[in-house]
Amino acid sequence: MRRIGLLLKRSEEKAVLLGAKMCHFLKESGKEVLLEESCKELAVAWSANVTETLPDEVDLLVVLGGDGTILRAAALLNAKPTPVLGINLGRVGFMAEVSPDEAISELKSAMAGTALLVKRMLLQITLPDGKTARVLNELVIHWGGIARLIDLGIRPGNSREIELRADGLIVSTPVGSSAYSFAASGPLIHPDVEGILLTPICPYAGLKRPLLIPAHLETEIVLKRGEDLTLTLDGHTTVDLQQNQSIRVVRSQLPFVMVKTKARDYFDVLKEKLGLL
């Protein structure tokens, strides 16, 4: 690995301090360090470079923040599945599971090629205008204003249409099953199990329980009734939707590759982060 990217939660002082420490270590190791274009001041102070296409330009992306910063890293992926090392400086750290104390040792393993790399499924969404987007956790269809029931038609592959009348719908990856879907009484799904989870929000009629469908099926979701609807992607991007429009969801051909710590497994994380098991 020759070029290492640092993606920071700039509002978090601990992220900046740890970023400076990791940048110093990388420079001493003979690596080129790249930051986002918005971090020009830090780049000057750290003798690093900046780029507008950070994940595409580096061999490893180190994320300093929390799960929200991991989701931002996933949204920046474009042309290649750049491995991501998530350092947890947030409250939960379900995805960014490496602690600050483990940061340098995990970074050394990644650069030496001895780190454990795992692939996580991304969802690709085709919007009504034909544009596409990817999410690591989930997409949510809901009212943008006053909470009311909405009517949706869900068609997985070539199957018959499944009706849903509810406050909204969460469409999540296995990784995202531990986020909003879990709060809406959806099941936890091990991230090695590929599938697309449909979790209705306060269902009234039609689909009344979460449904896991095969990841390879392209699922069409038609907005049957409702105005001022909003599509939220991984909690950071919103798209206005209109009645009778539709979106399509399928597994992305581009995976999200993460550096997985060997210090704990998925079930350890469930116990430590969510207080389960």
Q: 12: helix, coil or strand? A: coil
Is the CB of residue 85 less than 8 Å from the CB of residue 60? yes
Give yes or no for residue 19 having a pLDDT over 90. Answer: yes
Of the spans 37-41, 120-124, 268-272, which averages the highest pLDDT?
Answer: 120-124
pLDDT band of 268, cuts 50, 70, 90: confident
Token readout for 144 is 């943008």
Q: Which of 125, 146, 107, 165 is closest to 250 using CA atoms?
A: 125
Q: Which of 112, 116, 15 is closest to 59 using CA atoms?
A: 112
pLDDT at 228: 77
Give yes or no for residue 148 having a pLDDT over 90. Answer: no
Of 56, 67, 101, 265, catalytic: 67
Catalogue all structural domains in the chain, each as residue range(s) with its CATH number: 3-121+255-274 (3.40.50.10330), 123-251 (2.60.200.30)
pLDDT band of 145, cuts 50, 70, 90: low
Give yes or no for residue 76 having a pLDDT over 80. Answer: yes
Average pLDDT taken over every residue of the chain: 92
pLDDT (average), residues 13-32: 95
pLDDT at 277: 61
pLDDT at 59: 96
**Alpha-helical regions (H) of the chain:** 13-28, 40-46, 54-57, 67-76, 103-112, 180-183, 266-274
Token readout for 266 is 């998925």
pLDDT at 79: 79
67 is catalytic: yes
pTM for this entry: 0.92
pLDDT band of 93, cuts 50, 70, 90: low
Per-residue pLDDT tens digits for 250-262: 999 999 999 988 8
Show Cβ contacts of residue 203 under 8 Å, excluding neighbours closer than 6 positions.
164, 165, 166, 209
pLDDT band of 9, cuts 50, 70, 90: confident
Show Cβ contacts of residue 220 under 8 Å, excluding neighbours closer than 6 positions.
153, 154, 155, 246, 247, 248
pLDDT (average), residues 27-42: 95
